[in-house]
Amino acid sequence: MSGFTTRPEILGTFGVVASTHWLASATGMAILEAGGNAFDAAVATGFALQVVEPHLCGPAGETPILLSAAGSDAVKVICGQGTAPAAATIAAYRDQGLDLVLGSGLLAAVVPGAFDAWMVLLRDYGTLRLADVLEPAIGFAQSGYPVVPNISNTIAEVHELFRDEWPTSAAVYLKGGAVPAPGSIFSNPDLAATYRRIVDEAKGGDRVAEIEAARRVWSQGFIAEAIDRFCRETEAMDVSGERHRGLLSGADMADWQATYEDPQTYDYHGFTVCKTGPWGQGPVCLQQLALLKGFDLDGMNAEDPAFVHVVTECAKLAFADREAFYGDPDFVTVPTDTLLGDPYNDARRKLVGDEASMEIRPGEIAGHGGKVVVREKGTTETLGALGAGEPTVKRFDESEVRGDTVHFDIIDRHGNMVSATPSGGWLQSSPVVEGLGFCLTSRAQMFWLEEGLPASLEPGKRPRTTLTPSLALRDGEPYMVFGTPGGDQQDQWCLHLFLRHVHFGMNLQESIDAPGFQTEHFPGSFYPRECDLGHLALEGRFPAATAKDLEGRGHRVHLDEDWSLGRMTAAAKDGPLLKAGANPRFMQGYAVGR
């Protein structure tokens, strides 16, 4: 290694697992040690994270998955992003006096997609049975797990809401009326019982038959019935300060399944970066690479103000295009070939000057796109104590009700690779569904209620999610999986990791540890959908001269805590050698391997 890191870059030959929680990493590694492959480990890790980080993801959330199977250069995406309910029309929300989809409560629910995505991955690429991959999650839920401080802080912020308005949540998270203390052992017997019942009802037949039975139990059996009933019969308080019923139905769940698709890709300096399609924000990472291709980053370093400036200005352009053009390709035609093409980016690159831009500047492509809705920061009154819709991570000591997301990357000894970013179903964003032990996703808040935009709400449409795992090939060979939580910041933080590794020769852990930065210049994806023009946040570890230089270029610089921006994990395969690194910020992420 060329410099100090907070922990070693993990090296091995048998397998590596990097995730945003040490218990999840240990779970994935245990599956590998027991003879499972990377895909078995991924499913077990995904279910474990739902239990041990309920403020960051849940069983009724969503997940995109990128995978590469050993012996094949083909990369596949499993879309675990559910769609808007059949009753979720713009008029249905407007008739209730709403101009945005709310960030909390039942009205923000779409079809939960994570469970089916995990089952599809297990069926087609795994080797273990359903009970094997669910056993660790059931154990954590039944016997308990140590509470991290952010769980306690999150529950403390919404405990009055739980007590007064969401009794089903209070029953799970306020046992005896008390907020669970950091470090205490917390269990969720209802969730354990839910998963045991799925396993029991799916028993019989071979491995694939059990998995298919479990999919039906989820989408057509007691899970769908409970969700349908809860949405019909419950009026839940939400961020509007009023109570609303949900629109999600059992029929919506029965009509949806996780799907396969090819990734969106971009070739950059000998690497091919693979992302989801524009139903997610993944291509915005590729657009940034297409812009950055015209700059000499090799002559810079990770703390160079020129590097931060150029990367930030390219991000502003790419994210403006995200707002103007991205949406579910099943409903809108997204001109990704143009957006990633040289002629378009050669022209856009000329907009990057020596000064920071204070405008949102999407490109123009005839016959495509829509207006960008700009709501400047501070213009929307929010009721934070009534739940949260924004998953941008915050520090332990900040008194704000916010969730986040989780991420993991796994490579096994065979060369199988998987990267996933599960999210949604945050405990603070929606009431627990009675009897199930978990709450619903609030991903519908990523739709706009204006007509005619690529991301406008329509029944059966996927919200333009922020969830964006990454997989990179090097010289055509599967090489690296990486990603991060962080909402709109995901395709900034993971890009920074990649650039540091490619241009500055940093190993995975060095690339993760390097001082982070981000901009919120563009419209946010989460309620209340605001932007902060000219914003640039830097970790306090940046040299003072860097911050001063960037301020001189016109950036509205905000110095954040020294270790606050970024949640990345990564794993790579370099010949027989496997490598992994994980985020040290917030003392949760860990990489393991042997």
Q: What is the pLDDT of residues 528-563, one digit of tens each?
A: 899 999 999 999 999 999 999 999 999 999 999 999
Cα(473)–Cα(245) distance, rounded to whole angstroms? 46
> Would the CA dihedral through 16, 485, 557, 500 be positive or negative?
positive
Per-residue model confidence as pLDDT tens digits over 175-204: 999 999 999 999 999 999 999 999 999 999
Which among 63, 89, 116, 115 has a CA at the least distance from the CA of 461?
A: 89
Structure-token pair, residue 461: 């449409």
The full set of domain ranges for the chain reads 10-260+411-446, 264-377+467-572
**Inter-CA distances, 543 with 2, 292, 299, Å:** 19, 23, 18
Which residues, 6 or more positions from 542, have their beta carbon under 8 angstroms from its beta carbon?
Answer: 303, 308, 515, 517, 559
Q: Measure the CA–CA gap between 535 and 380, rounded to whole angstroms.
A: 18
Which residue did the predictor score with more confidence, 25 or 391?
25
pLDDT attached to residue 116: 98
How high is the pLDDT of residue 566? 95
Q: For residue 528, is the peptide bond before it cis, meaning its omega torsion is within 30 degrees of 0?
A: yes
The set of long-range contacts for 31-36, using a CB threshold of 8 Å and a minimum separation of 24, is: 31/128, 31/132, 31/133, 31/136, 32/410, 32/412, 34/132, 35/127, 36/126, 36/127, 36/128, 36/132, 36/133
- Residue 486 Rama label (left phi>0; alpha psi -120 to 50; beta): left
| Structure confidence by residue, pLDDT tens digits, 398-436 | 334 444 799 999 999 999 999 999 999 999 999 999 999
Give 387's pLDDT tier (boundaries 50, 70, 90). Answer: low
CATH of domain 264-377+467-572: 1.10.246.130
Given its phi and psi angles, is residue 180 left (phi above 0), alpha (psi -120 to 50 degrees) or beta? beta
Q: What is the pLDDT of residues 40-57, one digit of tens each?
A: 999 999 999 999 999 999
For the chain, percent of residues with pLDDT exceeding 90:
92
Closest residue by Cα to residue 374 from 320, 449, 334, 312: 320
pLDDT digit string (tens) for 474-512? 999 999 999 999 999 999 999 999 999 999 999 999 999
Phi and psi angles of residue 244, each rounded to the nearest 5 degrees, phi first = -140, 150
pLDDT of 370 reads 86
Q: Are 572 and 4 in contact (CB under 8 A)?
A: no
The sign of the torsion formed by the CA atoms of 425, 248, 322, 327 equals positive
pLDDT for the residue numbered 4: 86
Q: What pLDDT score was predicted for residue 389? A: 55
For residue 431, give the DSSP letter.
P
> 418 φ, ψ to 5°?
-150, 140
DSSP run (H or E) holding 66? strand 63-68
pLDDT digits (tens, 9 = 90+) for 83-138: 999 999 999 999 999 999 999 999 999 999 999 999 999 999 999 999 999 999 99
| Residue 219 CA: distances (Å) to CA of 60, 137, 224, 435 | 11, 20, 5, 16
